[in-house]
Amino acid sequence: MSEIRDPSLWESGKRKIDWVRRNMSLLRSIEEDFIKEQPFKGVKVALSIHLEAKTAYLCKVLAAGGAEMYITGSNPLSTQDDVAAALVHDGLNVFAWHGSTPDEYNRHIAAVVSAGPNVIIDDGGDLVNMIHNEYPELISSVYGGCEETTTGIIRLIAMNKAKELKFPMVLVNNARCKYLFDNRYGTGQSVWDGINRTTNLIVAGKNVVVAGYGWCGKGVAMRAKGLGAKVIVTEIDPVKAIEAVMDGFTVMKMEDAAKRGDLFVTVTGCKDVITEKAFNNMKSGAILCNAGHFDCEVDVAGLKKIAVEEYEARNNIQGYRMADGRELFVIGEGRLVNLAAGDGHPAEIMDMSFAIQALSAAYIVKEHNAMADEESKVFYVPEEIDNEVAQRKLRFWGFEIDKLTDEQEKYLNSWQV
Ligand code: NAD
Ligand code: SAH
């Protein structure tokens, strides 16, 4: 069962998956373990994550562990049709295509949810929302799920607090081996990859405005500085703003930054971060993009309303002419620029995030009865999984670290010496 754009594209997709597989040593080792242990034998897994090569390899690893996979994307622009075709060629069930309309996107989410999954792997809550709202009769067969991203987790915690979350969800994003690397170094690199390959302009010397100085924002600002930009940070959290100042950045309100910026990147998880007030103050030629979860950080709908002309300025860049003649440009429709205009995080980064996903999914299958008895339905990734991923990654990269002696351990755990 599948619904993809073109099955004949599978060879190109296979090459992409083979390439990332070479660079995902953790997942390769987990694949070997899963082939032997078959932790997902008889288990249906529904997955909604950006459907490009690294995600495809995660799907193959879960399938190698015995899972019956039902796969869709997590953003209409990040699905790569050749990658989807390669998975279908390997016998996995895929429902996704690049550029899906909102109706098609929802139909594809519904297709994987209605397969009746036991485990859900979500990226922003699309699967969890649909099963709760439209397929409540399938909730009882769900052992639990994993959530990939910050915004998804904020929503799960709110649902859990309201006692509306009906099965256990593991907060993958909050594992140290996820957010410290994926959100910071992954977003830091892939956002600039997306911007640079789409605009083909110089970053050095530009005023780059980064909205949000969380884990992602820190990475985006750090790499902008490395490329020679003059970086301005906007924040709403005074502590994060001080961090930005001490990291050497200028901090100001968006209304002031709007006048100075040549290139804007929002990465807050909030909405309406750049709106009409800012558009009206921007220099002609300013380029805007978003790397946060939803496409509501840059108010593209508002920009469309005030623009007198809209045109395709370059592939994946929309131009908007204002009544006073200024031109503003938006990359990738204001959707995550690293995925809507690039291949997302590098393989070595997704190796860590997806190792956490794979091991957490196996943990859910093993522990679901005990988890179901807990009142709270949100679970942190067990520390052993986080540590195991870090240990293996270091080993595969050829680094060794020290180990505490018994005496040192005693010293660190006592208050008397
Ligand atoms: P975070 O909570 O660490 O950081 C968000 C920051 O934005 C916080 O410091 C917060 O104070 C600030 N903020 C909130 N509203 C703001 C506003 N109106 N103006 C300025 N600053 C504001 O979260 P994070 O892990 O950095 O994730 C940020 C977003 O990026 C989330 O939506 C997350 O899902 C998404 N994300 C995207 C990628 C990607 O590949 N593009 C990767 C990981 C996470
Ligand atoms: N539904 C959202 C998805 C959230 S994106 C949307 O509308 O786009 C944020 C997540 O994408 C991050 O937590 C990160 O782990 C993930 N990501 C980044 N690069 C990726 C890649 N190359 N492949 C798969 N997932 C990726």
User: Residue 301 in contact with residue 328, Cβ under 8 Å?
Assistant: no
Ligand 2 pocket at CB < 6 A: 49-50, 52, 54-55, 74-75, 123-124, 148-149, 173, 182, 186, 293, 336, 339, 343-345, 350, 353
**Crossing angle (nearest 10°) for helices 187-199 and 215-226:** 50
Q: Tell me the C-alpha distance between 20 and 5, whole Å.
A: 22
- If pLDDT is split at 50, 70 and 90, which confidence band does 1 have? confident
CA of 52, nearest ligand number = 2
Rounded average pLDDT over 196-201? 98
User: Residue 99 in contact with residue 76, Cβ under 8 Å?
Assistant: yes
Q: Tell me the C-alpha distance between 376 and 201, whole Å.
A: 49
Which burial class, exposed, middle or buried, applies to 384 when counting CB atoms under 10 A from its CB (0-12, 13-18, 19+)? exposed
Encoded amino acid at 69, one letter: M
User: Residue 149 in contact with residue 123, Cβ under 8 Å?
Assistant: yes
Per cent of the chain over pLDDT 70 is 100
> Beta partners for 27?
none
User: Residue 210 in contact with residue 221, Cβ under 8 Å?
Assistant: yes
- If pLDDT is split at 50, 70 and 90, which confidence band does 115 have? very high
Q: Tell me the C-alpha distance between 278 and 217, whole Å.
A: 19
Produce one character per residue of 320-345: b if its CB has 16 or more CB atoms within 10 Å, e if not.
bebeeebbbbbbbbbbbbbbbbbbbb
Q: What pLDDT, in 10s, does the model give residues 292-329?
A: 988 999 999 999 999 999 999 999 999 999 999 999 99
Tell me the CA–centroid distance for residue 267 and ligand 1, in Å: 5
Task: Look up residue 77 and give its two tokens.
Answer: 């622009």
> Beta partners for 21?
none
Rounded average pLDDT over 30-34? 98
Encoded amino acid at 351, one letter: D
Q: What pLDDT, in 10s, does the model give residues 375-396?
A: 999 999 999 999 999 999 999 9
- If pLDDT is split at 50, 70 and 90, which confidence band does 47 have? very high
Q: What pLDDT, in 10s, does the model give residues 155-188?
A: 999 999 999 999 999 999 999 999 999 999 999 9
Rounded average pLDDT over 361-374? 96
Name the nearest CA neighbour of 361 among 69, 2, 73, 96.
Answer: 69
Ordered structural domains, the chain, with CATH: 7-178+345-397 (3.40.50.1480), 185-340 (3.40.50.720)
Q: Is ligand 1 within 6 A of the CB of residue 292?
A: yes
Q: Tell me the C-alpha distance between 286 and 260, whole Å.
A: 9
Res 81: pLDDT:
98
Res 417: pLDDT:
59
Res 192: pLDDT:
98
User: Residue 145 in contact with residue 131, Cβ under 8 Å?
Assistant: no
Task: Look up residue 63 and give its two tokens.
Answer: 């399938």
Res 77: pLDDT:
86
Q: Tell me the C-alpha distance between 93 and 84, whole Å.
A: 9
Q: State how far the alpha carbon of 238 is from the alpha carbons of 150, 154, 234, 273, in Å.
A: 20, 20, 10, 17
Res 332: pLDDT:
95
User: Residue 170 in contact with residue 146, Cβ under 8 Å?
Assistant: yes
Mean pLDDT, the chain, integer: 97
User: Residue 156 in contact with residue 171, Cβ under 8 Å?
Assistant: yes
| pTM given for the model | 0.94
Atom 25, ligand 2: which residue's CA is nearest? 50
Q: State how far the alpha carbon of 155 is from the alpha carbons of 117, 150, 324, in Å.
A: 21, 9, 41
Res 405: pLDDT:
98
Q: Tell me the C-alpha distance between 168 and 176, whole Å.
A: 20
| Region for 281 from its dihedrals, namely left if φ exceeds 0, alpha if ψ lies in -120 to 50, beta otherwise | alpha
CA of 264, nearest ligand number = 1
- If pLDDT is split at 50, 70 and 90, which confidence band does 105 have? very high
Tell me the CA–centroid distance for residue 49 and ligand 2, in Å: 7
Q: What pLDDT, in 10s, does the model give residues 214-231?
A: 999 999 999 999 999 999
CA of 267, nearest ligand number = 1
- If pLDDT is split at 50, 70 and 90, which confidence band does 416 have? confident
Q: Is ligand 1 within 6 A of the CB of residue 267?
A: yes
Q: Tell me the C-alpha distance between 151 and 220, whole Å.
A: 18
Rounded average pLDDT over 203-213? 98
Q: What pLDDT, in 10s, does the model give residues 234-268?
A: 999 999 999 999 999 999 999 999 999 999 999 99
In angstroms, the first-to-last Cα distance of the chain is 65
- Greatest CA separation found in the chain? 73
Res 373: pLDDT:
93
- If pLDDT is split at 50, 70 and 90, which confidence band does 55 have? very high
Rounded average pLDDT over 2-27? 97
Encoded amino acid at 67, one letter: A
What is the Cα 44 distance to its own chain's centre? 23
User: Residue 356 in contact with residue 192, Cβ under 8 Å?
Assistant: no
Q: Tell me the C-alpha distance between 162 and 253, whole Å.
A: 34
